[in-house]
Each structure stands twice: as C-alpha cells, then as structure tokens.
A and B are shown apart, each in its own frame.
Chain A
Amino acid sequence: MTARPTFTELLDWIEGRLTDEAAAAVATYVDSGDPATSASVAWIRDFLAAAGSMPLSQPPPDLSARLRGVFDELHRPMRAEGWSDAWLLQDARSGLAAAGVRSSADGGVHLAFDSELGRFVLDATGAGVGEVDVQGLVMLAPGAGGVDLAFLAHGDLRRAVRTTPDGRFDARGVPLDVDELWLTSGATRVRATLDLRR
C-alpha cells in the first residue's frame, strides 16, 4: 500500500475486520512510521481501551421508572390523593424546646416533625443573603431507602435533594421564602409547612 490508509481503514485493521491482504498492506504503511497515521492508530487504541474499561450497565427497570417519575414528583402541584400532612413537634424559636432539642440561642432554626414517613428534624443556618443551609435527618425504618425532598416557595420548586440511605440530607442555599417541604418515598408523600426565617 502506497496510499495512506483512511481513518476507517485503520479502525478496521485494528478491529481485525480486513482481509489478510488488506491488513498486511495497512500494517506495512503503519510500520513506515508516517506520523499522522501513527497518531491515528494511537488515538483509536486509546479510545478502544477507554471505552472497553467502562461498559455501561443497564439499570433495573424499576429504577428507570423511578428516575422518570422524579421530575413530576418534584414539580407537580400537590394533589389531594396520597398526601398527608406532617405535624410540627418542636420549633426551637417557640422557646419550648424539649429535652435534647437545641434552643435558638445559636441563631439557627431547629424544627422537628412527625409524619407518615416517620419523624424528621431539620436545622437551618444562615448562608448568603436571603438564604439558609438546611441539614436534617429523616428517621427511616431500616431498609426503607432514601427520601426525595422538595423545598418550595409559593408552589414553585426552589431546591431538591435526596437523603442518604440512612436518612440524612443537606440542602445548601435554600431561599428564605421557602414555605413548604415535600417528602416522597415510593407512594408515600408528606407535606410540611415551613418557616425558615429567624
């Protein structure tokens, strides 16, 4: 072969898709040391190695369905069916902190709720102007999996986060005008009224 092999011919050669005669001709040209051809061969080999190092696994069908449902779950206006309200157990701002619940002396907002999903607590501390960082814990039953949380202001999604499998969550930069929190775990959906202002 005297003509430079095309990129596709080089790919065919590396993948073993050429006839013996054609492969020998390509090999001869590659061995000639043409810099552009050598660069193409090196790039193809690197690509094949990188692609082969991480074949893509197919998620289980139920996960695919859940991922498609996440978008509606976090955005769709609350419907009456399947929802329940969380009830406030503790608000440190009220000065009625129960044993084990921090007071508001540190300037944050500390809330505790009970709900169909179990108890959950959250701490909000000042972040930027008009924002707070919210950390908390949903006390999940063992093996319950994570919970998706949506923070909303006047019905519009402001922040979304999923808890870790043990129920912890951390939402940074939550706007202070957030007035509602949705918690979703499978078919169980809980709504809590929030006031994060000190």
Chain B
Amino acid sequence: MVTDTDLLRRCRRRDAEAWNQLVGRYERLVYTVALRNGLSAEDAADVTQATFVALVDALDRLRDDEKIASWLMTVARRQAWRTRNLSRRTTTLEAAPEGATDPFADWATTTALHDALTTLGGTCRELLVALYFEPDAPSYAEIAQRFGRSIGGIGPLRGRCLDKLRAIMGEEA
C-alpha cells in the first residue's frame, strides 16, 4: 500500500490521483474534527474543504510528511473555531450552539494516535480504522470480506497491528 509520504511527493508533482487517495484517507478525520467542534453539517463541510485547500497551499512547506494527520486535524480545528466565532456574531446568546467547549479531552493524545496510525500505514492502518474508528462497528465477517481475508485471520492480525501501533507510539513518546 502506498505511504502518505509517497502520496504527498506525488501531489507535489501535481498527480491528481495521489491527491484523490490522500483525500480518501483523511476526509473522514477532518470532517469529524469539524463536526465535533460544534459545527452544523454544512459548516463542517465548508471547514473540511477549507482544510484541504490549506493542504494544497502548504504542500511545499510541510515540515514532516508523517505528521500529516495531526497537521490536518489542527488546521481543521482552527478553521472550525473561526467559523464558530463568525456564527456566534450572528446568533443570539440563547441560540448559541452547544459544544462551545473543546470536545477533545486530550488533544495531544488524539493527534498522536492518528499520527501513529499514519506511520503504521498499509493494511494495518486500514484494519484498525475499520475496526475501531467506524461508528457502526462492522463485524469480523464484514471486515474479512472487505479485506479479502479469512474471518479467523482478522483477530490475530488486528492484535499484531495494534501491538505495532503501540510500539510506534512508544517510540514517539
């Protein structure tokens, strides 16, 4: 599976297909950060687009390609704050949206986790995201079908992948 570093390198050469893959990997994460900052679906979509435009803008200035997840999350959060502040100026106090407090109890841990998933990459990343980050908690049977593996192999593989993730987070701590 192609690494994010490779995709970013290709994006710098204006490879639209690499861009599409990068969007596919991170659109849910960016959209989720925007939603969890108290935005409506419409505003979250706008913040998501603004974040990816910012990525196009910053392609040649990114300091660490392996930290792309936390970079996107941080930009999305700032954009969401900005949008929320704009919204507050046009709504009454009584109508102010909930979620005005920071919804991320431990932002550093959350971003470190997603950066570690980026470093992990490949099938392991995709498997862990599917098993632990999808809201509808797909069954092993669904996962096995999606990844073209036997059901019996999913459990041990997810254990090995999670152990690798732990090692990566230990190295980066």
Interface residue ranges, A against B (CB under 8 Å): 6-9, 11-12, 17, 40, 43-44, 46-48, 50-60, 63-64, 66-68, 70-72, 74-75, 145-146, 148, 157, 159-162, 164-166
Contacts and interface: CB of A to CB of B under 8 A. Distances in A.
15 contacts: A7-B163, A8-B158, A17-B155, A40-B166, A47-B165, A54-B133, A55-B133, A55-B134, A57-B135, A64-B27, A66-B49, A67-B23, A146-B49, A162-B53, A164-B82
Contacts of B52: 67, 70
A108 B135 CA distance: 50
B57 A160 contact: yes
B29 interface: yes
Contacts, number: 128
B28 A50 contact: no
Q: Interface SS of chain A: helix, strand, loop or mixed?
A: helix
A110 B157 CA distance: 60
B95 interface: no
Contact of A11 (B11, B20, B158): B158
Contacts of B43: 165
Interface in B115-134: 129, 132-134
Interface of B: 11, 14, 16, 19-20, 23, 27-29, 31-32, 35-36, 41, 43, 45-46, 48-50, 52-54, 56-57, 82-83, 86, 104-106, 109-110, 113, 129, 132-135, 155-156, 158-160, 162-163, 165-166
A188 to B, nearest CB: 15
Contact of B49 (A9, A58, A63, A166): A63
A161 B51 CA distance: 9
B28 A58 contact: yes
Given A56-B133, A68-B20, A165-B43, A8 B156 contact: yes
Contact of A165 (B46, B113, B165): B46
B49 A57 contact: no
A11 B27 CA distance: 29
B29 A63 contact: no
A57 B156 CA distance: 27
A36 to B, nearest CB: 12
Nearest to B114: A54
Contacts of A71: 11, 14, 16, 19-20, 56
A17 B83 CA distance: 44
B41 A60 contact: yes
Contacts of B110: 50, 53-54
Nearest to A160: B57
A72 to B, nearest CB: 6
B133 A63 contact: no
A39 to B, nearest CB: 10
Given A44-B162, A56-B32, A63-B31, 16 more contacts: A7-B159, A8-B160, A8-B163, A12-B155, A40-B166, A52-B132, A54-B32, A57-B31, A57-B35, A64-B23, A66-B49, A68-B20, A68-B23, A71-B11, A162-B50, A165-B83
Contact of B14 (A12, A75, A166): A75
Nearest to A17: B155
A56 B113 contact: no
Contacts of B86: 164-166
A11 B133 contact: no
Contacts of B104: 54
B149 to A, nearest CB: 15
**10 interchain residue pairs of minimum CB distance:** A8-B159, A55-B135, A162-B50, A56-B28, A51-B132, A71-B19, A160-B57, A59-B31, A162-B53, A7-B163
